[in-house]
Chains A and B, each alone.
Chain A
Amino acid sequence: MERNIPKTSTVLSTLLRADFTTQYRNRRSLRMVLIIPLAILVSWKGLVPKIGGGFVLSSCITIGLISIGLMGYSNTIARDRDRGIFQRLRVSPVSAWTIMTSRLLVQIGMILIMTLLIFLVGYFYDGVVLSPLGYLICLIMTIVGGALYLSLGQAIVGRIQNPESVNSTSRLVYFAFIMIGMLGQFGALGKTVEVLVDWSPYGVVQKVLSGGLEPSTWSTNTGMSLLLTVVYTAIFATLGIKWFKWETKK
C-alpha cells in the first residue's frame, strides 16, 4: 500500500518529544550546563553592590550560553553522528532541516530554563532586582546570544569528526572563553586583552545581555555589540553548515 509523507508538524513534534526526553535524561550534560554559571552567581553575591546586578547576571548567563553551545549541543551532535543516529533518521521521510530544527529547539528550551534559573537564584539569593521589561528583553537577547554559541558549536562539530576530539576541543574553547573572558573584562590581563575581550563573542554577548537587563543603559556600544553578535553568528553558522557531515568516516 502506498504511504504518503506525514505532516511536517507531526514529524517535528515527534522528534521534539524524543529530543527533549533525551536531553532530560542526559543528567551529566544538564549538570555541566547549569553548575558553573550557578556556582559563579552564588560566589559573586558579594560583588553585586560593586559591579552591579545586571553585570553579574549577564556574565553568568553568557557562561551558561557558552556551556549549552559548546558542551551540550556540539557533544550531543558529535555523539549521535558517530553512532549513526542521524543516518537512521535520514533514511526515513524526514528532511535534514527538520532534524536540526528539533535539536536547536531543544537547546533554545535549555537556554530559557538556564536563564530563568539564573534570574530566580539572582533574585532570591543575590538580591538582584531588575525591571520586568529588563528581564523580558534579556530573555529575548539570550536567544540571540545563544544562537552565536550554538553556531560556534556547529562550526566545531562541522570541522572535527571524532566525538572525543569534539569533546576536548569544546572544553578547551569553553574554558578559554570563561577564563580569558572574565579575567579580561576585569582588566586583569591588560588593556589590550580587555579591548579584545570586549569585542570577542564573549564580550559582545555579555554586553547585549547586560544592556537588555538594564534597558536604560543601552547605548551605541550595545547596539554595535548586538550587530557583531549577529555577524559572528552568521560566520560560524555558515562555516558550521558548510563543513558539517552527517556521518563520520570509520
Chain B
Amino acid sequence: MSDQKDTPILVVNHLNIFYGSFQAVNDVSFDVNRGEIFGLLGPNGAGKTSTLSAIEGLLKPRSGDISVAGYHIQKEPLHARANMGVQLQATSFQPELTIAEILRLFAGIYGVEIDQISIQKRLTEIGLASASEKRFGQLSGGQQQRVSLLISTIHYPQLLLLDEPTAGLDPQSRRQLWDRMEAIRENGNAVILTTHSMEEAEAVCDRIAIIDHGSVIAIDSPEAIIDCHRHDPEVINVSRKGKITLEDVFIGLTGRTVRT
C-alpha cells in the first residue's frame, strides 16, 4: 500500500490475457500517474476493453500484475476497487430505483455518508437538480451518462476508469464530460479512458497508448507520437489534408483495414 504522490496510481506489468487459445492482450505494460489523463486507443478488438476489464478485476489475466493505489488487483481486489471509480461501456441500474436511491446505494457501497441535502447538491452540480425522484431509464442518454459519472466518482476515487465515455453523446455533453475529467485531474487524481475519438484523445489526454492486436505499439503524449511518426511513409500516405493528425498516425500504425 502506498499513497506517495510520486508513485504511479496504476501500474500494469506484462499483462497477458487469453480467451481460450486466442491471445487478446500480449505483454502490455504501462503506468498512469496521479494528475494524469491517460487514453487507450486502438481499433475494434485491439484489446482495450480487455485491458480495462483486467484493471477493474472483472477479467483474470493469464499472467502479469496490476496494482491500483499500491493494491494488487488479484490479491487485494476490494482495496483496489475502493480506490477506483468505474464507468462501464453499458451501464444500467435497477429500473425500480430512483436516482436518489441509486446514489444512496453506491454511496453506502463505497462507505460514503450521504444525506438528501448532499444528494440534491451533487445532482445540482451536474445540472440534474430535478432528477432525484426519476428512474434511470427516464433520463436522456446524456443525462444517464452524467449520473453514471457522478456514481463513479461518488467516493472521489484516486483513479477513474472510463470505457468509451463519450460514445453517442452530443458535442455539448462531450465538452461537459471533458471539463469534468480535467477537474478530476486538477484535483490530483487520474483518469484512464478508452476511446475511438482521436479528437478526444488530443483534446484531453496527457498521454496515450495505441494498442493493436493486443500489444502496445506506441505510448507517449499525443504531440510526441505525432512528431515521432510524422515522416513515416504509411502516415504520410493516409494523411488527408497535408497536416499530420493523430488520426493519420493511428491509421498509419494500425492499418486501413476495418476491424469487426
Contact = CB atoms under 8 A, between A and B. Distances in A.
A25 B96 contact: yes
Question: Max chain A CB contacts within 10 Å: which of B88, B91, B92?
Answer: B92
B88 A11 contact: no
Interface residues of A, number: 33
B158 interface: yes
Interface stretch (B40-48, B99-107, B139-147, B237-245): B99-107
Interface stretch (B78-86, B125-133, B164-172, B176-184): B78-86
Nearest to B98: A21
Contact of B79 (A18, A26, A93): A93
B157 A84 contact: no
Given A18-B94, A22-B94, A93 B82 contact: yes
A219 interface: no
Contacts, number: 103
Interface stretch (A1-9, A174-182, A198-206): A1-9
Contact of A87 (B88, B97, B111): B88
A92 B94 contact: no
B69 interface: yes
Contact of A14 (B1, B56, B69, B108): B108
A91 interface: yes
A6 B110 contact: yes
Nearest to A25: B96
Nearest to A95: B78
Interface in A78-114: 80, 83-85, 87-95
A246 to B, nearest CB: 8
A63 interface: no
Q: 8 nearest interchain CB pairs?
A: A14-B108, A6-B111, A25-B96, A83-B92, A91-B86, A93-B82, A93-B78, A18-B105
Interface of A: 1-7, 10-11, 13-15, 17-18, 21-22, 25-26, 80, 83-85, 87-95, 246-247
13 contacts: A1-B158, A3-B83, A3-B110, A4-B111, A22-B94, A25-B97, A85-B94, A88-B88, A90-B57, A91-B56, A91-B88, A93-B79, A93-B82
